[in-house]
A = this chain, B = another copy of it.
Amino acid sequence: MMNEDGKNRNGEAVTDGGSGSEPETALATARRQLERAASHADVDDGVVARLKHPTRVQQVSVPLRRDDGSLDVFTGFRAQHDDVRGPYKGGLRYHPEVTADECIGLSMWMTWKCAVMDLPFGGGKGGVAVDPKTLSDEERERLTRRFAEEIRNVVGPKKDVPAPDMGTGPQEMAWFMDAYSMQQGETTPGVVTGKPPVIGGSYGREEAPGRSVAIVTREAVDFYDWDIEDTTVAVQGFGSVGANAARLLDEWGAKVVAVSDVDGAIYDPDGLDTQDVEGHDERPGMVSGYDAPESLSNEELLELDVDVLIPAP
C-alpha cells in the first residue's frame, strides 16, 4: 500500500518498472509515467517537455553542531515541480537516501495528486539526507531550524508549503515554523501544514490516512451493493492507519473479525470490539496479546475468508 507521500511502509520510493539490478529512480519512473499518460491525451509536446523538469531545486548545506561539539554538514533539498495551479505543496523527509532526483520525482507526483483532487496547489518535495535515528532531540531541533533558515527564501504560505513526511512529524513542523517566523519577524503558521494543533495545526490530520481507507472501503461496499452490516473485514497491521480504518468501519456497522500486529493476529468470527483493542502505536504488543476468542498467525489472517482485507502493515 502506498501512503500519501508515495512510499510504501518501508519508506522505499515505489516504482512500477525496474526489474533489473539497479532500481529505477523516482524521477525516471515519474517521467516514464508522464510520457505514457501523455501518449493517451492530446497535449502539446512543449507542455510535456516542460513537465518533465522541475521549476527549481534548491540544494543547501546544513551544518550541525553535534552534542559532542563536532560539526557535521548534511545536504538538504527542496524540489518545486510546477506552480501553475497554486503554491508548491509537499513533504520534507529525513532519510539517508534523500537525493535531488528523488525529490524531483516525488514532487512530480505531488503535482498530479493535487491536480487529480482539484486542489489549488502544485507539487513540491524536499528533505535532508540524514538518518534521524542517529540524532538526539536537540540535534534534530538544531538541524531542522537551520534547514528552515537555509530554504526560507523559496518557501512561504503563498510560495511553497512543506508538510511532514518520512522521518519528520508535527514536532519538526513546529520547529520549522518557529525558525521561519523568527526570520520573517512575524508569526507565520501558514508556512507549513502538519504542525501541532496548539500552534495552529488542523485537528484530524493524524487519523486522516486511516479514515481515507475506511471511506474508500465503504464506497466499494456500496459499489458492489453489499450491506455493510454483513461485511466481514480483516486488517493486517493495527498501527495508526489500520486501527483508525478498523474502528471507523466497526462504527459504521462492518464486522471486523481479525486484526494483527508484528507478533500475530487475533480473531473473533462475531466481530472484535475494535475500540477495546489498543493499537500498536498506543501500546506495542497489546494487539496479539489481546484476550480474543482465537489467535492466528499473520499468514493465516491473510488467508481468512473475509469480504474485505485491508493490508496496512
Interface, chain A (partner B; CB < 8 A): 45-46, 49-50, 52-61, 63, 65, 70-73, 75, 83-87, 100, 120, 149-150, 152-154, 156, 158-159, 178, 182-183, 185-189, 198-200
In the docked arrangement, what's the CA distance between A50 and B120, Å? 39
If the complex has contacts A85-B199, A86-B187, are A53 and B71 also in contact, measured as CB distance less than 8 A? no
Q: Select A56's contact among B59, B65, B159, beta carbons within 8 Å.
A: B59
CB neighbours of A50 from chain B (8 A):
61, 63, 71, 73
A200 touching B86 by the CB < 8 A rule?
A: yes
* Chain B min CB distance to A298 (Å): 42
Q: Can you give 14 A-B contacts (C-beta < 8 A)?
A: A45-B71, A50-B73, A53-B61, A55-B60, A56-B150, A57-B58, A57-B60, A84-B199, A86-B187, A86-B189, A87-B186, A87-B187, A156-B186, A159-B187
A73 touching B87 by the CB < 8 A rule? no
B71 near A49 (CB under 8 angstroms)? Answer: yes
In the complex, how many angstroms separate the beta carbon of A50 from the nearest chain B beta carbon? 5
Once the chains bind, are A187 and B83 in contact (CB under 8 Å)?
A: yes
Q: Which of B49, B56, B65, B187 contacts A58 (CB 8 A)?
A: B56
* Cβ-defined partner of A158 (8 Å) among B72, B153, B187: B187
Tell me the bound Cα distance from A83 to B86 in angstroms.
29
A70 near B46: Cβ-Cβ < 8 Å = yes
**Chain B residues, CB < 8 A from A57:** 58-60
Residue of B nearest to A66 (CB): B46
Q: Is the CB of B159 within 8 A of A186?
A: yes
Nearest residue, chain B, Cβ from A85: B199
